[in-house]
């Protein structure tokens, strides 16, 4: 069969039309529903080391502050009862995974206007202050961006979440909070269900 320039042109045109008909051929679809949790931790200072004082936004788990730095945010109490949110790199710039030192995850946080409930989509990347502590009072909504290990093989390295401190028991140094997280890498939805975009 002889392939003419006209045949090649027609083949290219068909390919382009086929890709256009399929939408974005490289588009990534979310597969996991947004998660909501009601949790509690203890302040890092003034409590036993065995108490959970940190939160992993990728897994939604509270945990102890340990050398493997498997968390994203640690919690502490100020003298005035406000809560200090401490990103992983402020606790330690490096962590140990499999016996090898690695950089701790980058975490960005920002207090947002409105309530926890009204924040339905995490702000874009330019909105966050990275690897800096944030002091908040109960009721202030915080958006979180994490360079997550769960996303190391994805097109986007970020996971997004929000949290709000509900209450503090100063006597026991316990902090109660709610968190919503989108476990789909690069997606910023903070509403129930599987994100559409």
Examine residue 103 and state whether it is found in any structural domain, yes or no.
yes
Q: CA 36, 125, 146, 75 torsion: positive or negative?
A: negative
Boundaries of domain holding 175 = 27-182
Examine residue 90 and state whether it is found in any structural domain, yes or no.
yes
pTM over 0.95: no
Tally of domains in the chain: 1
Examine residue 189 and state whether it is found in any structural domain, yes or no.
no
Identify which of 155, 152, 147 has the alpha carbon closest to the alpha carbon of residue 28.
155
Examine residue 46 and state whether it is found in any structural domain, yes or no.
yes
Examine residue 20 and state whether it is found in any structural domain, yes or no.
no
Q: What is the pLDDT of residues 9-64, one digit of tens each?
A: 444 444 444 433 333 444 679 999 999 999 999 999 999 999 999 999 999 999 99
Q: CA 168, 169, 175, 176 torsion: positive or negative?
A: negative
Distance in angstroms (rounded) separating the CA atoms of residues 164 and 179 = 7
């Amino acid at each position: 069969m002889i392939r003419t320039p006209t045949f090649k042109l027609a083949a290219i045109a068909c390919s382009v039309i086929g890709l256009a008909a399929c939408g974005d051929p490289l588009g990534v679809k979310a597969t996991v529903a947004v998660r909501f949790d009601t949790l509690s931790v203890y302040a890092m200072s003034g409590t036993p080391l065995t108490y959970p004082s940190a939160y992993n936004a990728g897994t939604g788990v509270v945990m102890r502050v340990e050398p493997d730095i498997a968390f994203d945010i640690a919690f502490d109490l100020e003298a005035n009862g406000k809560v200090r949110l401490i990103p992983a790199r402020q606790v330690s710039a490096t962590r140990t995974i499999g016996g090898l030192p690695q950089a701790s995850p980058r975490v960005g946080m920002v207090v947002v206007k409105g309530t926890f409930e009204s924040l339905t989509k995490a702000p874009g990347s330019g909105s966050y202050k990275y690897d800096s502590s944030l002091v908040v009072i109960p009721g202030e909504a915080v958006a979180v961006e994490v360079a997550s290990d769960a996303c190391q093989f994805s097109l986007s390295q970020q996971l997004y979440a929000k949290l709000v401190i509900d209450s503090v028991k100063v006597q026991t140094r316990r902090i109660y909070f709610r968190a919503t997280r989108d476990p789909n890498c690069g997606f910023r939805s903070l509403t129930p269900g599987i994100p559409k975009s």
